[in-house]
Structure 1
Amino acid sequence: MTGHTWLWTPPRATPASVGVGQLLRAYRQAHGLTQQQLADRLGFDQSYVSKVESGRRAIHDISTLRHIARNLALSPEDVGLAPGAMADRRRDTGPRSPAAEQVAASQRAWRLTRDHLNHHRISLARAAVRLYPETDRLGSGLLARPGWVWDRPVDIDEVALHWQDKVEPPLIRGDEPETAGSRPLLGGGSAQTRYQRYTRAMRDLDRPTLFENRLSFRLLDIGGDGTAPATADNRPTLNFGHTTYFDAVDVCETVAHEAAAAMAGTGLSWPALPFRARIGNPFDFGRRVALPSINTLTIRHDRGGQASFFLHRRSAGSVATAGGVYHVIPAGVFQPSGITAFHHEADFDLWRNIMRELSEELLGNPEHDGSSSRPIDYDTDEPFRSFEQARRAGSVRVSYFGIGLDALTLFGEILTVVVIDADAFDKLFGGMVQSNAEGSVVTAGPNRAVTEGIPFTHTALRRLVDTEPIAPSAAACLELAWRHRETLLPGVRARTAS
């Protein structure tokens, strides 16, 4: 695998970045900066700045464009954004009171820290995991209790989901005194009034394109001992109750924001992380809301001896969490497609959530966001009917690896894999899109069809996990799939061992 065929992300339909390279070069020359000095100011690598200036690397990510504009005090138009895209730019130019200046400075610092968070999530997760005992670590960036990851893939139907209607509210909500440093001043009143919720600050100061408070399934407890189930009595068991998406984000993004601020300051250590210390045991789901995402590695399996997998480059300007990183596709929060009891009953199912995400992220279909009162009929509505038929025929196989916690955010991460025979994949996903509302599908080179994916080889896996900004849960899915490749991909061993 040569360098010129490595990961390539097609441009998304975002504001044009034409001229950003020339702009950076002109800025450097006007201020007498070297590429390294400009890179340091922006928090980028010097090689990245060099590629942008030379035109070898285009910038399409809205969050990155905002980051450049804010750090260099440029207008949104300068970097190709629409007028008004910078939430911190005031319409009036008159003098501000000391209180208003204090609010502006607090919000500016908050935005800079959030930019730092979005550009360094992977390195921050890898540092955060080292705060916890080695026995609680699952790879680089994930936490897990012994037994949470099973010793072989488990068919998704073997995972038992239990429901609890009556659940005690969490003790930690994200508005504790220890979170003050992660909640900027609000303005419009006392200079000391802070945003009460992190999500309200996101809404006003750094709103992603996809930002909606949805009813979600709160993880309460994890059962099973992690061994391959010999009987139905020993199988993965996940217990749930209700929560909302913002309830989880208010805690998880706050604890991540705190880590980003600490890393940019004195370094990541417990004295600099009062909110993380207040949370305490990350596995105590009674103290805080634990909202899991379902992360699914999609593998196209050719019975002739080849396999490939698919990656997603998530846009930090579009999604509230895990932006700017490579991720498995599909990945989505475990939540119903609507708010009625019918939606709850139909959607409290891991495979159906995976199907919805496959429909949205690979085929580009509209998200089932709760705007319709009509529940999905998974037996008759397409593409779900075809997905289920292929699974019953054995050409689609869905397995559960286990569950972990992202060490940076403490979000729950359900780890799964879907293996699809090549003929079924080509039939189901022949119309696979290059980009969707959350980001772009990654290929192994600009001349590769998006349906080809990335060769599932040990070389590709190691290069991706060791050198690229890949989400910890995605790295775990890849590592586990490789470990269990003989079970998941019969007949493919000889062609994937290089």
Structure 2
Amino acid sequence: MTGQTWLWTPPRPTPTSVGIGSLLRAYRQAHGLTQQQLADLLGFDQSYVSKVESGRRAIHDISTLRHIARNLGLSPEDVGLAPGGLADRRREPPRGSAVEKVAGSQRAWRLTRDHLNHHRISLARAAARLYPETYRLGNGLLARPGWVWDTPVDINDIGLRWEESAAEAAISGSEPEADATRPLVGDGGAQSRYQRYTRAMRDLDRPTLFENRLSFRLLDVAEAEGAAPTLTFGHTTYFDAVDVCETVAHETAAAMMGGELAWPALPFRRRIGDPFDLAGRVALPSINTLTIRLDRGSASFVLHRRSAGSVATAGGVYHVLPAGVFQPSGITPFHHDADFDLWRNVMRELSEELLGNAEHDGSSSRPIDYDTDEPFRSFEQARRAGTLRVFCFGMGLDALTLFGEILTVLVVEADTFDSLFADMVRTNAEGSVVSTGPGRQAHEGIPFTQASLRRLVDTEPLAPSAAACLELAWRHRETLLPGLRMRAAV
């Protein structure tokens, strides 16, 4: 790849700003926040933050500037004030007071959360080393023997079994061992800890996309000799999973900030115990799909840079495209029956992430008609024609969060790809599509070569499930890409 720009992400336009507006914009960018999130953090209206950042509104009120400094953990000098005098200090909560204790707890929680979001890849790799080597699948992913299959399986051959009466999970994230991951809340008169990690996220570090949706809970992964693999599911919600997964991740980040990562510093992870005990905790899987464009003499794949300020998990990393939680598009029995299907979940994510279509988020009572609604009709026609094929490699767990990861690959012939994704977007609600240079089209993607793979896996902040998809696709390239002469280097 000599002379070629590596992993170029299209920039988002930002307004020119001055003074305190410049500071707020820089703070947002450093912490991966949206204007709405910063406004929530400060107790301001989003339109007010927008005007300040763009220079259309100036802030001269000392108390407002001091409020900004206090809530963002900045010094008076940072916001253009001299250090406060005695009269100013009297307005601050007394050291050791209940109010200051709550503020300090929330400030520490935000700092740990910030560290977590900026170091997810290194934290996942460190967390993987806590478990036996036989459970490690690449960098930062765990898999039980039998969870990753010897050969890729057509996604329609994966058996899906429904368990209506699944027992409630014993682990919820509200255990005493998780107390340190949830900050204090209250006005000083009656203070307590947040009871749910997702409630703290909502109040203190809310991503743009943060909705509690009905989802499919993974209960079992089974592979019988001579039979297709079977995945068993029940119902859960997105927040039920996040309450456990982000809690264990937060605890890991705090332990790393405090020193070496070791089991004595991880009481909640110890409480969870066997990460593959799917009955003991809520395991909600994402379906991660490596999308490969297959041309006559070469192949390429699309990659996504996920925005830390937009998504609740896996923000700030490179990921395969598309990737999304396995969940129905609505709450009715009709949605459940239509959407309890891996391929249909992948199609919805393709529609949203590659074509920029609105997310099917349960706001409509009308189920999707996959036979007639576009782009699903065209996706299915291409699949039946054999110019689009989709396979599953198996299952894994992200070692940092213990979130479930279904690993899949989509292989599309170039003409079909260019037709289906003629209107492919460069940015979507979750981040931006990555290319290898500003002059390249989004659909051209990254060359599917061993050199690209190694550079991504070894040197870039690549999500563990994405790394596994790439490495498994390369391992099975002769099966997935028949007739293509793959080279070991560019």
- Shift of the alpha carbon at 1:64? 9.6
Is residue 471 from structure 1 mapped to residue 470 from structure 2 by the alignment?
Answer: no
Residue 299 of structure 1 aligns with which residue? Answer: 292
Q: CA deviation at 1:494?
A: 3.7
- The alpha-carbon deviation at position 236 of structure 1 amounts to 1.1
Counterpart of 2:160 in structure 1 is: 161
Paired residues of 2:105 and 2:184 also in contact (CA < 8 A): yes
Any conservation in 2 of the 1:215–1:339 contact (CA below 8 Å)? yes
Structure 2 equivalent of residue 241 of structure 1: 234
Q: Distance in 2 between matches of 1:484 and 1:384?
A: 27
Give runs of aligned pairs for residues 379-390 of structure 1, distance below 5 A. Answer: 379-390=371-382
Partner of 1:394: 386
**Deviation at residue 100 of structure 1 after TM alignment:** 0.8
Report Cα offsets for 1:51-70 as digits up to 9, x if no partner.
xxxxxxx9597339999xx9
Check whether the contact 1:12–1:60 (CA below 8 A) recurs between aligned residues: no
Instruction: Give the whole-Å Cα distance in 1 for the aligned partners of 2:3 and 2:255.
Output: 35
Deviations 1:98-141 (A, max 9, x none): 11111111001000100000000000000000000011111110
Matches within 5 A, 1:142-221: 142-188=141-187, 190=189, 192-221=191-220
For residues 472 and 192 of structure 2, the distance between their equivalents in structure 1, rounded to whole angstroms, comes to 47
CA–CA separation in structure 1 for the residues paired with 2:51 and 2:344 = 44
Question: Cα gap change, 1:282/1:16 in structure 2, threshold over 3 Å: closer, same or farther?
Answer: farther
Q: Tell me the secondary structure at the aligned position of residue 398 of structure 1.
A: strand
User: Which residue in 1 is equivalent to 2:246?
Assistant: 253
- Please tell me whether the aligned partners of residues 103 and 185 of structure 1 are also in contact (alpha carbons under 8 angstroms): yes
Aligned residues of 1:305 and 1:491 also touching (Cα < 8 A):
no
For the residues of structure 2 that align with 1:178 and 1:470, how far apart are their CA atoms?
A: 30
Contact 1:178–1:275 (CA under 8 A) maintained in structure 2: yes
Alignment partner of 1:406 is 2:403: no
Structure 2 residue 366 is matched with structure 1 residue 367: no
Q: Distance in 2 between matches of 1:17 and 1:128?
A: 41
Q: In 2, distance between residues paired with 1:349 and 1:149?
A: 19
- Residue 6 of structure 2 corresponds to 6
Q: What residue in structure 2 maps to residue 274 of structure 1?
A: 267
SS in 2 for 1:138: coil
Shift of 1:147: 1.0
In the alignment, what sits opposite 2:447? Answer: 455
Aligned residue in 2 for 1:34: none
**Corresponding position of 2:408:** 416
Q: Distance in 1 between matches of 2:158 and 2:443?
A: 30
- SS of residue paired to 1:131: coil
Indicate yes or no: 2:25 matched with 1:62.
no
Which residue does 1:342 correspond to in 2? 334
* Distance in 2 (alpha carbons) for counterparts of 1:171 and 1:190: 33
Asked whether the equivalents of residues 391 and 408 of structure 2 are also in contact (C-alpha less than 8 Å), the reply is: yes
Residue matched to 1:482: 474
The CA distance in 2 between the partners of 1:193 and 1:242, in whole Å, is 30
Letter in 2 for 1:148: W
Q: What is the match of residue 433 of structure 1?
A: 425
The whole-number CA distance in structure 2 between the counterparts of 1:387 and 1:164 is: 29
Spell out, residue by residue over 1:463-486, the C-alpha distance to the aligned partner (whole angstroms, 9 max, x if none).
010000000000000000001111
**Residues 17 and 59, structure 1, Cα contact 8 Å, conserved in 2:** no
RMSD of aligned C-alpha atoms? 2.9
Match of residue 93, structure 2, among 90, 93, 96: 96
- Note if contact 2:18-2:54 (Cα within 8 Å) is conserved in structure 1: no
**Contact residue 122 and residue 472 of structure 1 kept, 8 A:** yes
Residue identity in the other structure for 2:147:
W
Displacement after TM superposition at 1:187 (Å): 1.4
Once residues 116 and 16 of structure 2 are traced to their aligned partners in structure 1, the CA distance between those partners, rounded to angstroms, is: 22
Q: Distance in 2 between matches of 1:125 and 1:291?
A: 18
Would you say 1:283 and 2:276 are equivalent positions? yes
SS in 2 for 1:294: strand
1:38: which partner in 2?
none
Structure 1 residue 434 displacement after superposition = 0.2
Distance 1:119 1:224, change over 3 A: same
Instruction: Return the alpha-carbon distance in structure 2 between the equivalents of residues 306 and 287 of structure 1.
Output: 45
In structure 2, C-alpha distance between the alignment counterparts of 1:386 and 1:85, rounded to whole Å: 51
Alignment of 1:68-147 (within 5 A): 80=53, 88=71, 94-96=91-93, 98-147=97-146
Give the superposition deviation at 1:492.
1.9
Which amino acid in 2 is paired with 1:239? Answer: T
1:253-294 deviations in Å (ceiling 9; x for gaps): 000000000001022100000000000000001110000000
Amino acid in the other structure paired with 2:9:
T
Shift in Å at residue 16 of structure 1?
A: 4.5
How has the CA–CA distance of structure 1 residues 496 and 452 changed in structure 2, closer, same or farther, with 3 Å as cutoff? farther
CA-to-aligned-CA distance 1:381-403 (integer Å, 9 cap, x gap): 00000000000000000000000
Counterpart contact for 1:330–1:358, Cα < 8 Å:
yes
**Once structures 1 and 2 are overlaid, which stretch shifts more, 479-488 or 77-86?**
77-86
TM-score by length of 1: 0.85
Q: Which amino acid aligns with 1:384?
A: F
CA 1:408–1:436: 2 relative to 1, 3 Å: same
Alignment-mate amino acid for residue 124 of structure 2:
A
CA–CA distance in structure 2, aligned partners of residues 493 and 414 of structure 1: 28
Structure 2: state its 5+ residue gaps: 42-47, 58-66, 74-87
Segments of 5+ residues of structure 1 without an aligned counterpart are: 28-41, 43-57
- Three-state SS of the structure 1 residue aligned to 2:397 is strand
Residues 274, 311 of structure 1: alpha-carbon distance in 2 compared, 3 angstrom cutoff: same
SS in 2 for 1:260: helix
Q: Which residue of structure 1 lines up, in the alignment, with residue 255 of structure 2?
A: 262
Count matched residues.
451
Q: Separation in 1 of the partners of 2:183 and 2:290? A: 37
Task: Report the Cα distance in structure 2 between the residues aligned to 1:221 and 1:2, rounded to whole angstroms.
Answer: 46
Identity of aligned residues (%): 71
Contact 1:305 1:495 in 2 (8 A): no
Call closer, same or farther: CA 1:61–1:422 in 2, change over 3 Å: farther
Residue number in structure 1 paired with 2:321: 329
For residues 88 and 245 of structure 1, do their structure 2 counterparts lie closer, same or farther at Cα, with a shift above 3 Å needed?
farther
